[in-house]
Chains A and B, each alone.
Chain A
């Protein structure tokens, strides 16, 4: 497990929390139903991973990107093609190669970031979004000349063991997400991670203190795209089990961007909270709406009112807590600690080391 730089204690509340979360995550299959895994948890994991990827680029390194869906698509199609065209290639290797392909494309489209910033960079990443979708549609080789351009995902196999069934696919996704998330927690506390933050907070200052700005930006694009590419593999192979370019459109890019904005920039926890909000919340609204008013209104009216409801809630959230769900959780946690400290007559609570990495001045 990761060792925080400024903490040498073996057991901390933070680690206990993560451990508990892992136990719950791996224990869920005992009680959950197929619907829970296939319709909620697996897409949640895939989108969380994509948000973790985008968070490295946008949250930590400060480079806005509207091309996330393109890298999802690159990952999905690359994994499909490696799997198809290299017989006997283990699926894990396909995943890694897919991530590397996405990273290569990401670095390519990250080149404009050397010259462009902010909105201009965001617009230039749109190029990735449209170019990738166009290329995947234009050249049917990518989808193995399937007339509809829809590819069927092969079953997930690891070392001869097939992850079939909702639970298998969930555990497969969970393991990949856990491994990558832990790697990322290490990364953001390494020199590279601190370089990201330095570049985000003040590019000129970063250059003055000797941070290689150009290289750092490209590394951010590469790592971010790698992770989003792997998320694309999960989205296509573990969740939908069919891949078509239409699903990786600009809406998906915005969805991932919204996840990190709502969840909290530069916060890994925020990526998961945001993804949970974006995936689960509409479902809850949709299902309670259908259960309460299903007989009175048709599904179209319900869907429209849900959209209005979700939109209003997002606005409300961002006004009340611009730093996202992650900061909201912190506030609640601090409040609990304060109460406890006050009750026991102790001092002020220790704050999380992670929060120190979050951007200032966004409140």
Chain B
């Protein structure tokens, strides 16, 4: 072999070596996404994961990642089914630099609690999840951020009380809760009972079997019961069907209050006229006027890299929730980086970040999300973070906010949550944390 050939080989070899070495040297933080883009809940899945991915892309394109740490992700389709979610979990968990899991399914989240606790990676269930996981002493790795199901219930009952003219007016009234036949739907059964006892109203809870595209008998039952209000605790296709069936049996739509998973454009548009005047709770406003949404439109969709196929859905409720979820995840990593350094963090370090995820309204404004959501204040004990809610009304074309930011009755709910968490701890033999300073697992 001639000298020249040796040189050539060396050059090629080093080029290959550099090529392999470079990507490995860059720090990356990875999001495994158990998304669902097919099946009865595809509208929620595509909107939420679309918004989440859009925000991660914004951070990568605009800022080059978080302090230079690039964000990566990959998706696995779950169709909202528990066993598929578990399979995707097992498949993606071995990727390096896993930041947090965001399955957007109560059933999947339940199945993951033991697994992620063992793996020491946070599990985020924004606006849903297992209520007692709010107690961070017992559930160190689970975060029902912004709004757990009990806070949502309290917010809705307070709103109805406001409509009636005060909490004392609830006495003797009748509320029907129409809930989705899934772990998510059933989560609030006890808290409605409890609030009914406390305020003296009568509650009747009626289940709609999954997926909920047939509700004639339930609504006839509602018509017989003649409730003052109906709370729609639906999901996916169940919601428009509920609104349409309500119209059919002659129940007034402005006396139906939707919960946080019955509040999207995809829930009301298919119902057409039947949805006009319908009110629903939300933690994040819809619309694309917020600076952060505008930047996504400009930077991400402008570059042809947006995740939503239908651009009309930009700024819809689920898309905005995905963006808010992106903000919360990214800020948790940023906060954790402040303590542990600007590098790929372990799941446990990201958990520390979530436990210090305190975004006051000023910081929310800096992030371009003023008015999109209010604030969050997560601590090691309180994994929900005291999210505020607001109510919006559908006018046939868009959602209009019809209330201020309202605080749920956290003081009332906390003892119930602690009791339930304590029971879980006893059943599982978990010793609740007594201080923040659980040692953090680093690399």
Interface residues of A (CB under 8 A from B): 33-35, 38-39, 43, 137, 147-150, 152, 239-242, 244, 246-247, 249, 283, 286-287, 290, 294, 298-304
Contact = CB atoms under 8 A, between A and B. Distances in A.
Contact of A246 (B36, B182, B307): B182
Contact of B77 (A33, A149, A241, A300): A300
Contact of A304 (B35, B38, B81, B182): B38
B187 A147 contact: yes
B74 A294 contact: yes
Interface in B79-97: 79, 81-83, 86-87, 90-91, 94
A33 B93 CA distance: 12
A240 B82 contact: yes
Interface in B51-93: 74-77, 79, 81-83, 86-87, 90-91
B83 A240 contact: yes
Contacts of B188: 147
25 contacts: A34-B90, A34-B94, A35-B91, A137-B181, A148-B130, A148-B184, A148-B187, A152-B113, A152-B427, A239-B83, A239-B86, A241-B111, A241-B114, A244-B107, A244-B183, A247-B107, A290-B76, A294-B74, A299-B35, A300-B36, A300-B37, A300-B42, A300-B77, A301-B37, A303-B38
Interface string B28-51: 000000011110001000100000
Given A244-B110, A303-B79, A148 B186 contact: yes
A239 B420 CA distance: 26
Contacts of B107: 150, 244, 246-247
A150 B79 CA distance: 19
Interface of B: 35-38, 42, 46, 74-77, 79, 81-83, 86-87, 90-91, 94, 106-107, 110-111, 113-115, 130-131, 181-184, 186-190, 207, 210, 307, 420, 427-428
A54 B428 CA distance: 35
B106 A148 contact: yes
Nearest to A145: B190
The 10 closest A-B pairs by CB, nearest first: A300-B37, A148-B183, A39-B90, A299-B77, A242-B111, A303-B77, A299-B75, A39-B87, A150-B110, A150-B183
A298 B87 contact: no
A166 to B, nearest CB: 8
Contacts of B428: 152
Contacts of A242: 82, 110-111
A247 B82 contact: yes
A246 B115 CA distance: 21
A331 to B, nearest CB: 32
Contacts of A283: 87
A239 B111 CA distance: 10
Given A242-B82, A247-B82, A147 B182 contact: no
Nearest to B35: A299
Contacts of A152: 110, 113-114, 427-428
Contact of B86 (A39, A147, A244): A39
A145 to B, nearest CB: 8
A260 B287 CA distance: 51
Given A39-B90, A147-B187, 19 more contacts: A33-B94, A35-B94, A38-B90, A148-B106, A240-B82, A240-B111, A241-B114, A241-B115, A242-B110, A244-B183, A246-B82, A247-B83, A298-B37, A299-B37, A300-B37, A300-B42, A303-B37, A303-B79, A304-B38
Contacts of A294: 74
Contacts of A290: 74, 76
Contacts of A298: 37, 75, 307
Chain B CB within 10 Å — which of A148, A302, A303 has the most? A148
B90 A147 contact: no
Nearest to A151: B110
Contacts of A302: 77
A83 to B, nearest CB: 12
Contacts of A301: 37
A290 B322 CA distance: 23
A147 B183 CA distance: 8
A299 B188 CA distance: 32
A342 B42 CA distance: 58
Contacts of A147: 131, 186-190, 420
B334 to A, nearest CB: 28
A242 to B, nearest CB: 4
Contacts of A149: 183, 186
B76 A148 contact: no
Contacts of B82: 240, 242, 244, 246-247
Nearest to A252: B83
B304 to A, nearest CB: 14
A247 B36 CA distance: 17
Contacts of A35: 90-91, 94
A299 B184 CA distance: 24
Nearest to A138: B207
Contacts of A150: 106-107, 110, 183
